Amino acid sequence: MVQVRQSTIIDAPIDEVWEILRDFNGHDRWHPAISFSEIEGGEPVDAVGSVRHFRLNDGGELREQLLALSDKDRRLSYCLLEAPLPLMGYVASVRLKPVTDGNATFWEWRSEFNPPAHRRDELVKLVAEGIYQAGFAAVRNLLRGRSAGSPIDVRPSRAVAAPAPSASVPRVAPTVTPGQAATTRAIVVERYGGPEELQLREIGLPKPAPNEVQIRHTVIGVNFIDVYCRTGYFDLLQPPGVPGMEAAGVIEAVGSAVSGFSVGGRVAYACPPVGAYCERRNMVPDLLVHLPDDISDDIAAAGLLKGIAASFLLHEVHVVRPGEVVLIHAAAGGVGQLLVQWARHLGATVIATVSSDDKARIVERLGADHVIVYSRENFAEAVMRLTGGAGADVAYDAVGNDTFGGSLAALGVRGHLVSFGQASGPVGNWDIGRLSSKSVTISRPNYAHYTDTPQKLAPQLNRFFAALRQGTIKVEPPRHYDLAAASEAHRDLESRRTTGALVLKV
């Protein structure tokens, strides 16, 4: 039997630290080693005896059971039920004590287990450093970020706008010589309207400001949100402006106050402000992602926004549980394909709707349990038939006008309609009183509210990259268009002829 004991002082009030640690399922939001966690069987997270099932970034899966939880002593204990490592008989406990002299918190994390003799030192080190010390640092960072209200250095690594030039980042000469007006090719929307409003122009490109980096795009993602920006449905773009919120590329210049990024680094992003439809742009790197070597530019540009969206739709907007019936519209589309694969992996029964037989075959290959061609069959009736009248637990609907009413009809009692788009037009006005006939919940999530800080973004990225690596989801190679042919890409996207992702090549 070995004992591991690590302890530290966290410079935050004990209640704040305990709020984070007492959530037995919350460790995927702060621990850098963990990509995803869920409580089995829908048990309450603070029920003693509940089991958390979680996945590490390296793909390992573990199950741990809550043995004791005390809000009085601010202590919790748990044991390992299953693990990819021989941590035999592992029982651990976490406890906090207040440091009254300064309002800080003492945090102790200890465990006992029986390792095989030849792996003893390795496992002790892993637990002490890879789990406990790494956890201390992550929670410290999380709290520091909260109190500062500013981006923090959480995984995956990202930039922090430093107040002064950092000695560790060499100041690099940008590609643009000062004084000389540089330009870049870009797609400009002069006024809201149809795809024809996407015009190729040469626009000015200033040097990056001290808190910005300059990125040379390699691949640019095309998303339905770009259509909404082009038409003025969302006011994220003010004409004249450059649309686009997703791209992959290479850093070409780094502002003097930026740290964590260097020239030549591979990056990607899926966030406002708009402006991705161009060869080069400057942006504040708060939400910029360092691309791992095993993620190609194509996959990043094709999958980052959709993958992040799928991550929070399935894990936060609605927490999909094993055995739930999940209805997914536009299942052959970019987000749809990810939702189908991921929901299946989470143990749900997936009913997918598509507009054609060709798309139905694609979605069947992705593992959907049932596929409905909604141009031919009333999908609400089909869902009721397939579920023996019980209806769906959750409906993911980005089609909008054409499907909203049917989605409500397809839900079971206490079902959840997640309306996250309106490809066929706005859903219009609905009388919420009618929802009480089934106690329906409706969510209208906004991408930014789940991703606009590094703290919110990190778990989505971790889940998405982990799911890609484990093959839980597969992003199909995207369809390529030239930057100049952006209007063609929008036409194809809006015609619903496409399957999978569309990207612009620079």
Partner 1 sequence: MTKVYVSSVIPAPAAEVWKLVRNFNGLPAWAPFVAESRIEQNAQADQIGCIRSFTLKDGGRIRERLLALSDYDLSCSYAILESPMAVENYVATLSLTPITDGNLTLAEWQAEFDCAPDREAALMHQIGTGVFQIALTALKNRFGR
CB of 96 or CB of 382, closer to partner 1: 96
- Rounded to an integer, what distance in angstroms lies between the CA atom of residue 244 and that of residue 279? 12
Task: Give me the residue label for tokens 């970019």.
Answer: 334
Q: Which two tokens stand for residue 485?
A: 């042919």
Q: Closest separation between CB of residue 107 and partner 1, Å?
A: 9
Q: Closest separation between CB of residue 153 and partner 1, Å?
A: 18
CB of 82 or CB of 129, closer to partner 1: 129
Q: Closest separation between CB of residue 134 and partner 1, Å?
A: 12
CB of 97 or CB of 216, closer to partner 1: 97
Q: Closest separation between CB of residue 231 and partner 1, Å?
A: 54
Report the C-alpha dihedral over residues 390, 395, 397, 402, rounded to 10 degrees. Answer: 10
User: Which residues share a beta bridge with 419?
Assistant: 397
CB of 131 or CB of 504, closer to partner 1: 131
User: Which residues share a beta bridge with 215?
Assistant: 251, 281
Q: Which two tokens stand for residue 348?
A: 């749900």
Q: Closest separation between CB of residue 168 and partner 1, Å?
A: 24
| Amino acid in the structure at residue 448 | A
- Rounded to an integer, what distance in angstroms lies between the CA atom of residue 493 and that of residue 498? 6
Q: Closest separation between CB of residue 247 and partner 1, Å?
A: 40
CB of 101 or CB of 196, closer to partner 1: 101
β-pair type (213-222, 246-254): antiparallel
Q: Closest separation between CB of residue 101 and partner 1, Å?
A: 4
Which of 70-102 are b and which e, b meaning 16 or more Cβ less than 10 Å from the residue's Cβ? Answer: eeeebbbbbbbeebebebeebebbbbbbbeeee
Q: Closest separation between CB of residue 106 and partner 1, Å?
A: 5
CB of 108 or CB of 364, closer to partner 1: 108
Q: Closest separation between CB of residue 20 and partner 1, Å?
A: 17
CB of 104 or CB of 203, closer to partner 1: 104
Helix then strand then coil, % of the chain, to nearest 5:
30, 30, 40
CA-closest candidate to residue 124, choices 9, 236, 29, 1: 1
Q: Which two tokens stand for residue 186?
A: 């870009």
CA-closest candidate to residue 277, choices 185, 197, 176: 185
CB of 101 or CB of 293, closer to partner 1: 101
CB of 126 or CB of 250, closer to partner 1: 126
Q: Closest separation between CB of residue 8 and partner 1, Å?
A: 4
CB of 121 or CB of 377, closer to partner 1: 121
Residues of the shown chain interacting with partner 1 in the complex, contacts defined by CB under 8 A: 5-9, 97-102, 104, 106, 108, 133, 136
CB of 111 or CB of 349, closer to partner 1: 111
| Amino acid in the structure at residue 263 | V
Whether the CB-CB separation of 231 and 262 falls below 8 Å is answered with no
Task: Map residue 413 onto helix, strand or coil.
Answer: strand
Q: Closest separation between CB of residue 18 and partner 1, Å?
A: 15
Q: Closest separation between CB of residue 151 and partner 1, Å?
A: 25
What angle in degrees, to the nearest 10, is found between the helix axes of 134-148 and 454-469? 140
Residue 240's CB is within 10 A of a number of other CB atoms, namely 12
Task: Report, in angstroms and rounded to the nearest whole number, the Rg of the chain calculated over CA atoms.
Answer: 24
Q: Closest separation between CB of residue 6 and partner 1, Å?
A: 5
| Local structure of residue 1 (DSSP, 8 states) | -
Task: Map residue 441 onto helix, strand or coil.
Answer: strand
β-pair type (246-254, 266-270): antiparallel
Q: What is the DSSP string of 142-209?
A: HHHHHHHTS----SSP--EE-SS--TTS-----SSPTTS--EEEEEEESSS-SGGGEEEEEEE-PPPP
CB of 61 or CB of 129, closer to partner 1: 129
Phi first, then psi, for residue 250 (nearest 5°) are -130, 140
CB of 7 or CB of 70, closer to partner 1: 7
Q: Which two tokens stand for residue 90?
A: 């592992």
Task: Map residue 133 onto helix, strand or coil.
Answer: helix
CA-closest candidate to residue 412, choices 391, 428, 432: 391
